[in-house]
Amino acid sequence: MKTTFYVSAAALALAALTSCNGKLGALSADNFTVTPSPLETVGNDVPATINGRFPQKYMKKKAVVTVIPELRYAGGKAVGQPATFQGEKVVGNDQTVSYKVGGNYVMKANFPYTPEMASSELYLTFDARVGKKAVTIPAVKVADGVIATSQLVYLTLASANTATAADGFQREIYRQQNAQIKYLISQAKVRTSELNTTSVKDFIKILRDIKADQKSLALDNVEVSAYASPDGALKFNTGLAENRKGSAQKYVNDQLKKTKLNTNVDAKYTAEDWDGFQELVAASNIQDKEVILRVLSMYKDPEEREQQIKNLSVAFRELANEVLPELRRARLTVNYRVIGRSDDEIRAQYAADASQLSVEELLYAATLTKDAAERKAIFTKATQLYPQDKRAYNGLAQLAYAEGNLTDAENALVQAAGLPEANANAALIALRQGNVNGAEALLGKALTAGNYNEVLGNLQIARGNYAQAAQNFKGINTNSAALAQILNKDYVAAAQTLAAVPNADALTDYLKAVLASRTGEVAQGVQALRAAISKNANLRDLASKDLALKTIFAALNR
């Protein structure tokens, strides 16, 4: 709110009277306009713009006046940047003020905020002389108090969302087991020698393992993909690839029957495997491979491609020996899942012997309960069994932060150092301690943390960048998000956010009262403030000193 003062007739008369005797008269609040009034914090500062006027025939031609802003509060004061003005006959570099017509001026003041400033008064004091003689100009009170709504961020931070270093537990993990059967040129018979290869033996083994442990392993299907190399006639290759598909599929069906497994066998064939051909050529050491690859790119017709490559007689002999045999094949793929423990099984195993759980299962176990003591016990156990894993330490820090135990949180984060989530949580702690620069440095190392935008929003509030803060909080329903919207004067959005805060607390109601005060809804504000104080009696003392709630608090106590 802007308060405007007008030059009073009394002040002008006094100035005229004193102009005759070589003295400088008193100035009054009418000579000054202060914006904002009351003063208001922006981040951690209290800025003020002071518009002043020296009346006509006030500034003696040999006078020098220094105006000094002072924000006075119980037990101390803060002094702002002074501004000096001079009369017309003074030789100097300060702003010259005409004796006859007077003069206007603008000066800026900025005071680092302290909580005592909630009950304060802004005064202007003067250091003045006329010629070599010092003269006294009485101090003038020009504004009352400081609205410190932005400072509520140091309270809303208590309910900020901390960053979780997620567990990697997966109930089901999809796996594949591949095998390859190679064929002789122009043949589709599965040779006994091919069935003794390592890949085929592993294929059979995984089928047997699945049959033996159907609780932990689940078979989805088996795929068969058969191919013919891209040499020879297309019609012949098509039939050949189809026959290879048939022989490979029969082999798979026989193995499923032997292991007594029932699943779909999805079989297909590719008549001429040009893609595989190109891949193998590119990876080979064939002398003319670049020429061959250019042929593949230039000619799309399969027969034309083959003829052009055969024209490279030396290269084609290398292809026939090194590449083409690798393409006469069938690929067998077992698609299956590794099934982890159920929630109940994890709980039971934790109770019986936690050491039998993997670190991922232990960290996941902590997500199965909302009880803080139980979660703390699980994280502690994880640090004992897996001391090199930093995620459990970060979990302990989160719990300590939620309890307001910042010392324990900091100690745990030392053990979690290096995690982006740990840096984000350390930034929250630094903010709560008023270390804005430290928080910014830590947040720069937390770009991938899940709560990065939320921490950044709180940091922007502390910096006084309310529009950016509101943008950072987009989609986040917290007390801090609502505070940013209130400070950004987006009252509709603030009301919606406050209504959507999960686990709303006393500070949520307090912010509703602040919002109601700003929108002139006194009755609603009284109701919200009463609810806040009923949940946290300490908020009564805060409200009694909060200029933003002056009207609301007065109505509450009627």
Q: Between helices 234-259 and 198-212, what is the axis angle to 10°?
A: 40
370, 146 contact by CB (below 8 A)? no
Residue 3: what pLDDT?
A: 38
Give start and end residues of each alpha helix (H) in 328-419.
Answer: 343-353, 359-365, 372-385, 391-402, 406-415
What percent of the chain has pLDDT above 70? 93
The predicted model gives 467-475 an average pLDDT of 97
Domain covering 172-339 in this structure, CATH number: 3.30.1330.60
Q: What is the largest CA-CA distance in the chain?
A: 125
* pLDDT tens sequence across 481-520: 999 999 999 999 999 999 999 999 999 999 999 999 999 9
For 101-121, the DSSP string reads TBEEEEEEEEEE--GGGGSEE
Residue 263: what pLDDT?
A: 95
For the record, the structure tokens of 499 come out as: 């209504």
Of 433 and 280, the one with more pLDDT: 433
pLDDT at 231 over 90: no
d(CA 265, CA 261): 11
pLDDT at 39 over 60: yes
Give the start-to-end residue ranges of the domains of the chain.
9-147, 172-339
pLDDT at 401 over 50: yes
Secondary structure letter of residue 268 according to DSSP: E
Residue 315: what pLDDT?
A: 61
d(CA 328, CA 340): 38
What percent of the chain has pLDDT above 90? 82
d(CA 249, CA 222): 9
* Number of other residues whose CB lies within 10 A of the CB of residue 280: 18
Residue 293: what pLDDT?
A: 76
* pLDDT tens sequence across 91-140: 999 999 999 999 999 999 999 999 999 899 999 999 999 999 999 999 99
* pLDDT tens sequence across 232-276: 788 998 999 999 999 999 999 999 999 999 999 999 999 888 888
Per-residue confidence at 310, pLDDT binned at 50, 70, 90? low
Per-residue confidence at 294, pLDDT binned at 50, 70, 90? confident
pLDDT at 9 over 60: no
User: For the chain, give me the number of helices (H) and strands (E)?
Assistant: 25, 16
pTM of the predicted structure, to 2 decimals? 0.78
pLDDT at 295 over 90: no
Per-residue confidence at 10, pLDDT binned at 50, 70, 90? very low
β-strand 172-182 against 146-147: which pairing, if any? Answer: unpaired
Domain covering 9-147 in this structure, CATH number: 2.60.40.10
The predicted model gives 192-207 an average pLDDT of 96
Q: How far is CA 164 from CA 212, 377, 391, 410, 445, in A?
A: 38, 17, 8, 15, 15
β-strand 83-86 against 103-112: which pairing, if any? Answer: unpaired
* pLDDT tens sequence across 375-389: 999 999 999 999 999
Q: How far is CA 367 from CA 374, 379, 386, in A?
A: 10, 10, 18
Residue 358: what pLDDT?
A: 96
Residue 8: what pLDDT?
A: 39
pLDDT at 12 over 70: no
